[in-house]
Amino acid sequence: MHEVSPEAKPFELVGGHINCLLIHGLTASPSEMRLLGEYLHQRGYSVYAPLLPGHGRTPKHLNQTGWPDWYQEVEAWAERLRQEPYPLVVIGLSMGALLALELGLRVKGIRGLVCINPPLVLQDWRSNWARVLKVFRNYIPKAIGDEDRQMQSRGRFAYDCIPLKAFVSMQALVKDVIKQLEMIDVPVLAVQGGRDELVDARSYKIMSQRLPPERLQNLYLERSSHVATMGEELELLGAAIDSFVSGLLGG
């Protein structure tokens, strides 16, 4: 049995007066949220970054799960944290941003959502054929570049392939989120990386068209790629989140 990789383990940084639930992306782990979590913790936030089911072990484990499993995990965390006396903000990257939006639809008491590069529309043409491809194969390889290798050297754990059953389940989550975006009554900070190699810019057009404008703020990170939480504009991202949350709470 494969144990969770040491680099992929969940983490908590407790001691602040605002609770942040950090949600990582598909095939990745809390490691990609660590730097942002440390930044926020230094500014008075308590940070909780769970490991989603199927992650942190092998791609086979991920293919045995789907979005209801991932959602159930983050919902349990959100329900626990909203019972505490401190405000709760949910911050998600990529697929984690989809789960954050789903939480905003279902869980009462969340004060704000931060959605970093939500994959409502993807650039890779193969995404349109995933449902067919999964009949013939279980995985497709990722295009691993220098930036991916650099993040790995800095502690990020992620699978080197995409488990197709899990990916198709994420596509079902995308449809569910898009269908209900107008119903979200929680303030949202939508973050777009200008160099995002995975998410099509149409994702942000959908967000701006479907979410009520009075509830939506946008942040464009010109030099950031998909994993903006480990990029060169991390401090700009962290400061924007801090400012967003302060505005929500009247600070």
The tens digit of pLDDT for each residue in 169-217 reads 999 999 999 999 999 999 999 999 999 988 998 999 999 999 988 999 9
pLDDT at residue 135 tops 60: no
CA atoms within a 13 Å half-sphere pointing along the CA-CB vector of 85: 3
Whether residue 1 is contained in a domain is answered as no
Whether residue 42 is contained in a domain is answered as yes
Whether residue 95 is contained in a domain is answered as yes
> What pLDDT is stored for residue 46 in this prediction?
97
pTM greater than 0.85? yes
DSSP 199: B
- Residue 122 lies in domain: 6-246
Whether residue 88 is contained in a domain is answered as yes
Share of the chain above pLDDT 90, in %: 81
Domain count, the chain: 1
Q: What is the CATH number of the domain that holds 39?
A: 3.40.50.1820
Q: Which of 4-8, 131-135, 217-221, 245-249 has the lowest mean pLDDT?
A: 131-135
Residue 229 neighbours by CB under 8 Å, 6+ apart:
32, 33, 35, 36, 93, 116, 237
How far, in Å, CA of 11 to CA of 137, rounded?
34
DSSP 206: H
Q: How far is residue 244 from each of residues 46, 51, 58, 189, 247, measured CA to CA in Å?
A: 16, 25, 36, 7, 5
Whether residue 251 is contained in a domain is answered as no
What 3-state DSSP class applies to 170?
helix
pLDDT tier, 132 (very low <50, low <70, confident <90, very high otherwise): very low
Mean pLDDT of 33-40: 98
**Which conformational region is residue 155 in: left (phi greater than 0), alpha (psi within -120 to 50 degrees), or beta?**
left
